[in-house]
Amino acid sequence: MAIKSPEKPAAATSSYKVIGTRPVRPDGADKVTGRAVYGADIRLPNMLRGRVLRSPYAHANIKRIDTSKAAALPGVKAVVTGADWPGISNKIEDLGEDTVNLGDLAKNLLAVGKVLYKGHAVAAVAALDDATAQKALGLIEVEYEQLPVVLDVRESMKPGAPLLDDKRFTDSLGTKSSEPSNVARHIRFELGDVAKGFAQADVTLEHEYRTTMVHQGYIEPHNATALWGSDDNLTVWCSTQGAFAVRDNLVELLKHPTGKIKVVPLEIGGGFGGKLGVYLEPVAALLSKKSGRPVQLFMSRTEVFEASGPAPGTSISIKIGATKDGRITAAQADLAYEDGAYPGAGAGAGCMCMLAPYDIPNILLDGRDTVVNKPKTAAYRAPSAPQAAFAAESLLDELAEKLGMDPLELRLKNASHEGTRQVNGQTFRRIGYIETLEAAKASAHFASPLGQPAPGKKRGRGVASGFWFNGGFKSSAYAQVNADGSVSLVEGSVDIGGTRASIGMQLAETLGIPFDKVKPTVADTDSVGYNAMTGGSRTTFASGWAAYEVGMDIRRQLVERAAEFMERAADDLEYVDGEVRSKTGDSKMTFAELAAKVNGRGAPVVGRAAVSPMGAGPAFATHIVDVEVDPETGKVDVLRYTAVQDVGTAIHPSYVEGQIQGGAAQGIGWALNEEYFYDDKGVLRNSSFLDYRMPTTLDLPLIDAVLVEVPNPGHPYGVRGVGEVPLVPPMAAVSNALHQALGVRVRELPMSPRRLLEETGVIGK
């Protein structure tokens, strides 16, 4: 279902010929037939297999590492440890969604001095075959001094908690603490006068909400193949969301020139933010340099869970005050995020997203990033926003109940709109949050009765909303016009969710040619200009903008060349609907005719563009969910789900719907089952897909995606990113539905049968 706003970008949506259609994705045939090349498909002559030795302890000093026996094993060609880093600096690297300290990153890839979580990499080997590499790991002698662990975000902040790094001091509002701490950063956002706002409130509610770490659940494990040649050129093949980010990290970690590093992005079997950073690529490069041969590394599924980046767990306390008629006067919250072993969880993003859907005059938010003895966290779709929304949207539901208001009406009464000032001081341009609420109210789902539950079971319906900024950042592309009228497009944004199509469609629209005439290719870092990561819902927006500029460049060139062929002044010609026409209408040349002529005479036509657009339009969503609960077992069935989202302009509606449905499915898993379950020693006890319970098709209903199109005024085609915000509302929506069904409120995720039994007091009775 699509609902269109009366506001349009420069060209009306209805006038588009390519945008809004649903062509077959250009990479589809390769992927369904097995021709697409993934990390496991790379085979190089004389290639070695690598393995990584990982810590059995969650917190320990490394007293001694002896690799001599492993190095002497026949078939072993290289062994590396943290001592092989050419130099560790504390430079901060911004990857768009993930800002890292390169010193911490190096220590995370190969530990130096300490291990900070079970699974922390300690050493790596490269051998002729996998069996030899595995045997060599057993010959590496590591002497550990075990240390106490801290696993809970609130416990880690207490005085006397075990310190992960006695040289880490809290950066609190720009001032360093006098004593070392596990709190890496304390930030604050303030708007208006909170004390005054709460004094104006007739009703005040306050609660704490907690979430655990969860994994993105991508199917393909991390991998890397590296060849450090005798000419000192390094080539790395990997499954990544950002080939240029990988290259930049390799430059810094290996102290190697940019011009001597090429990163080849392969097809990617899922990422969702979890493949923005590096884990194996620098280690494979070190092994290749030391052995003089190509080296390939893979993570096992257990390694993926234990040693790659999950989303952070949180403890969020929030207080909201409102008048009797439902106007929110003030909100205050304390957001504590588990960074894992090293800082970087991003409490700041949680603060800025938490209340963004609402026009609240008085807000005070404190955010804290805290280290614990778990793997360093990574982005997971709208990173840090889902946890914050779980708290805010759950408390809003409680507020609606307290006031006797419909939950959607409460949200409508306080909805952000154009001109609303955000907690970060910025004001919204044209946004579509109100439209999502109105579409949710008008939906068949919301209007339908909840229905009678099965005998002995209970039903409930919940709603929740969510927000994500969306990103811009740098993108580059170029395209060549071919003699047959086709266009070869080269871009550098890794394709995760169909972006070859969404970017190519914008080029086709700009040129006025059919989409099947555009042949998009994702290139390596030597073959195209700089492109930021595929993440933050930036790719269709920013790389699509680059494609638009490429098209405009081609149009200008074709007008100039047509002037030669038509013997007219260029100023007398214009490019319209895939043709160059005289303004008097007496002559024209089609794109196909021009393509043949320019390739037959003179220089070829190549369009180029490099952009760093700043007009990313934020995204809002409102979700509705019906659940049925078995009070005897605590099993929750999701009966119906509707996700309403302002998508700007839906370039390829099928892929937009797929992003929304995928985010909702992941959010349902996060709400009901998924969690990192650690014992008191810091050992992850569910590090497999058998024990880490993700929803399957048997657990999910058909998810209805309602596309509300309020075009982004900051983009030529009105594009808003769509991939992040679908993950933000589901946890709160499911929680609110469960509350209606059971009459009790669960304020900790996941709301599994175990937690329902332990916390509600109604399950099993």
Point out the residues that are catalytic. 724
Q: Position 423: which residue type?
A: V
Pair of tokens at residue 642:
């509707």
The DSSP annotation for 168-204 comes to: -EEEETTEEEEEE-SEEEEEEEEES-HHHHHHT-SEE
Cα separation, 314 vs 156, whole angstroms: 12
Residue 18 burial (10 A CB sphere; 0-12, 13-18, 19+) = buried
Helix (H, G, I), strand (E, B) or coil at 685: coil
**Checking phi first, is residue 291 left (phi over 0); if not, alpha (psi -120 to 50) or beta?**
alpha
DSSP 567: T
Contacts with 362 (C-beta within 8 Å, 6 or more apart), sequence order? 191, 192, 193, 194, 196, 197, 198, 329, 330, 331
DSSP 294: -
Do the Cβ atoms of 217 and 694 come closer than 8 Å?
A: yes
Nearest to 691 by CA among 681, 679, 680, 677: 677
Q: Phi, psi at residue 271, to the nearest 5°?
A: -155, -55
What's the residue count for the chain?
765
Cα separation, 223 vs 594, whole angstroms: 45
Contacts with 512 (C-beta within 8 Å, 6 or more apart), sequence order? 17, 575, 576, 577, 578, 579, 591
Do the Cβ atoms of 225 and 238 come closer than 8 Å?
A: yes
Q: Position 527: which residue type?
A: S
Q: Which H or E element spans position 666?
A: helix 653-672
**Degrees to nearest 5, angle at CA 196 with 194 and 197:** 60
Here the contacts of 151-154 (C-beta below 8 Å, separation 24 or greater) are: 151/58, 151/372, 151/373, 151/374, 151/678, 151/680, 151/682, 152/372, 153/313, 153/314, 153/315, 153/336, 153/337, 153/338, 153/370, 153/372, 154/315, 154/336
DSSP 549: H
Q: Which H or E element spans position 227?
A: strand 223-228
Residue 623 burial (10 A CB sphere; 0-12, 13-18, 19+) = buried
